[in-house]
Structure formats: structure tokens, C-alpha cells
Amino acid sequence: MKNYEKEAFLKSFLLFFLSQLFLVSTIFFLRYEKDQKKLYEQIFSQMRICSYTLKCKEFSIDFVQKQDLKPYKLYKTKDQLSAYFPIVSSQKNYLKIYLDNSKFKIQLYSLQKELFFEFFFVVMVIMILSILFSYYTLRPMKKALLLTQEFIKDILHDFNTPLSTLRLNIAMLEKDTKNLKKIKRIENAVNTVLHLQTNLRSYLYEHQQQQEIFLLESFIQERVDLLKSSYAHLRFFVDIDQNIKLKTNKDAFIRIIDNLLSNAAKYNKQNGFVKVTCKDKKLSIKDSGKGIANPKKVFERFYKEQERGIGIGLHIVAKLVKELGISIDLHSKIGVGTTFVLDIKEIILK
């Protein structure tokens, strides 16, 4: 089960389970109040019978002055439950029949215990029903997502033939023509489509399995060099210790760096810069671009602040850094630029 499926399942489960739990808790509370009242009435009835027969082992008997006491009424104190009944031959005294609080608590505990087991059983049934309900509600979403993924996979597969043909013909044109500027534009356009294709693959598949060891500095320099030719108006700087080695899934890390570098270059200004540095096991990609208006939203799927793109690049970055066990942070100011910071201490080879 993927992360978004787990989230949907958990939310459905909690919504159904908590709503039913609240309803059942209310019903059992009202029932407990009713049963407690019924227990008081039962004890009082037994006291009345005891007042006639005086044969009642569970109760204690005494005689008290009437004072302000009312007969045929149950009195509740912290020490006892008591009731007072008239004595035919006496005008000054009442017959007091009472039950010690310790004995009453035994009866009350028995009632609570019975209700608790019933409540626990009902909660277990609700939990099972909530799980089944959550799986049932998840099925249409899983089916729709599966169809979408299959559709994207088919498109990715169909991309391969025309893209391969385009790249082959571009290589042949470079040999046959002198107008390399136009050919370079076509090549950049093809590379953009390839980048989108790779992003879609990253969106569909997990990258947790295979790990490689590679030098960070040469890796970053390679990714920057591939980008330089498309952004001649920008200055690129790389300042990284040559001895830093990473151990992680290289393909996923390429997708992370390429997306961040691509965004830094794409949304930059004329004669701007892109600077990549690594300090204290934190890799920073800084640009002099437009800045981000809503930094908290940029990692959301399909969110974008510009007309260009489809809004999945940074969402894929967020997905991949989570898979690789690294964290990402960003600082941005409109008109000044943006800095993405990757905490890579977990993947640095010690």
C-alpha cells in the first residue's frame, strides 16, 4: 500500500470509527445512568420490604429521631445509602435502614464491569467494520489511480520510439548542416520531453532498492554541465569537497538534483546565477531567480506559480527525498531568489 493509499485508508478509518465510537459512547453513558438509577430504585425497594419483615442480611437497621427527615426517600451520602420508614407505635422515631457504601460499590462495580465488557465488544465490532468500510471506500480510488498509472505507463512506452528517432536524426543533422543553433533548440526541446518522461517514471515507481557509491562533487558537476548549454545567460558555480562520497539510489538522486537545478535555471533572471555548495553535510542549491510566493505549497502535487510546467517536479522531489531518507528545506524571497537545502548526512558514506 502506497503512502497516499495509507493516508486515505487511515482518514476513512478514523472518520468512521471515531464517529461510531462517539455515538456508542453516548448510548452506553445514557444506559449507565439509567442502570444506575434502576439500581438505586432496586435497593430502595428492598429496603421497603425490609421495613416490613426486618429480615434483610444485606442491610443494617437502626432507630433515629424524626427531626427534618422525610420517610420513603433514599438518602445518599459518602458513607451509606439510607431510607427512613415510620414506626406505628412511635411518634418520635423513624426506622432507619441503610447500606454501607462499600457494599453498594460492590454492586455498582458489578454493573460497571458488565457494561464495560459489552462496550469493549461493541468497540471491537466497530473497529472491524471500520477497517472493512475503509478498504471498501478505498477500492474505487485504487482502481482509478491504477487506470491512471497504466495510462501514463502506456504513454511513456509510446514516447520511446519517436524520441529515439528524433535524437538519431538530430545527431545526423549536426553532421550535415552548419546551422547548429536551430538544431540545438530542437535538441533542448527533446531533452525537455525526456526530462518530463523521467519525472513521470519517478512519479510512478519507488527507488528504495538499489544503492550506489559515487563522488558528490563530480556528480553535481556532471549534472550542472548538462544544464549549462541550455542556459548560456546564467553563471553556474559548484563548491563541494571532492572527497565527499554518497551511498544511495543514484537514479532517484539524479531526479532530485535535476529538478532542483532545472527550476533554479528555468525561473532565474537575465545574467543570474545558480550556486551549488555543500557545508556541514547539507547540500544547498541557491539561485537569483523570481522567488516563491508560497513556499509551503510548492511540494504539493500540481501546484505551480508560473505558466510553465505541470507542477509535479517538486512534488516528485518531496517524494524521492522521503524514499531516500533525507530531508529538504527551502528559503525564498520574492525578487531575490530561492535556496533549497538537502540534509544528506544519512546518505554520506562514512
Tell me how many domains the chain contains: 2
For residues 122 and 232, membership in a common domain is answered with no
For residues 95 and 9, membership in a common domain is answered with yes
For residues 231 and 109, membership in a common domain is answered with no
**CB of 32 within 8 A of CB of 142?**
no
* pTM exceeds 0.85, yes or no: no
Give me Rg for the CA atoms of the chain.
Answer: 38
pLDDT at site 90 = 84
Which triple of cell numbers denotes residue 208?
A: 528504495
**CB of 197 within 8 A of CB of 310?**
no
Angle between helices 250-266 and 313-324 (to 10 degrees): 150
For residues 117 and 215, membership in a common domain is answered with no
pLDDT at site 238 = 94
pLDDT at site 134 = 86
Domain-located, residue 192: no
Decide which of 137, 165, 194 is a domain's last residue: 137
Domain-located, residue 180: no
Domain-located, residue 162: no
**CB of 309 within 8 A of CB of 323?**
no
Domain-located, residue 336: yes
Residue 302 lies in domain = 210-343
Q: Residue 306: give its domain's CATH number.
A: 3.30.565.10
For residues 132 and 216, membership in a common domain is answered with no
pLDDT at site 328 = 92
Domain-located, residue 269: yes
pLDDT at site 164 = 67
Which triple of cell numbers denotes residue 176?
A: 550535415
Residue ranges of the chain whose pLDDT lies below 50:
none
Q: What percent of the chain has pLDDT over 70?
A: 79
For residues 99 and 222, membership in a common domain is answered with no
Domain-located, residue 166: no
Which triple of cell numbers denotes residue 25?
A: 459512547
Decide which of 137, 153, 188 is a domain's last residue: 137
Q: What is the rounded CA–CA span in Å between residue 134 and residue 120?
A: 21
pLDDT at site 226 = 82
pLDDT at site 204 = 60
For residues 115 and 229, membership in a common domain is answered with no
Decide which of 114, 137, 160 is a domain's last residue: 137
Long-range contacts of 141-144 (CB under 8 A, 24+ apart): 141/5, 141/8, 142/5
CA 147 to chain centre: 24
pLDDT at site 313 = 79
Torsion of CA 316, 321, 327, 333, to 10 degrees: -30
Q: What is the rounded CA–CA span in Å between residue 193 and residue 4?
A: 27
Give the three-class secondary structure for 172.
Answer: helix
Domain-located, residue 46: yes
Which residues is 286 bridged to in the sheet? 275, 339
pLDDT at site 67 = 84
In the chain, what is the greatest distance between 2 CA atoms, to the nearest angstrom? 132
DSSP line for 165-227: HHHHHHHHHHHH-S-HHHHHHHHHHHHHHHHHHHHHHHHHS---S--EEEEHHHHHHHHHHHH
pLDDT at site 189 = 65
Q: What is the rounded CA–CA span in Å between residue 71 and residue 84?
A: 5
For residues 129 and 218, membership in a common domain is answered with no
Domain-located, residue 44: yes
Pairing of strands 327-333, 273-279: unpaired
Mean pLDDT of the chain: 84
Q: What is the rounded CA–CA span in Å between residue 50 and residue 58?
A: 10
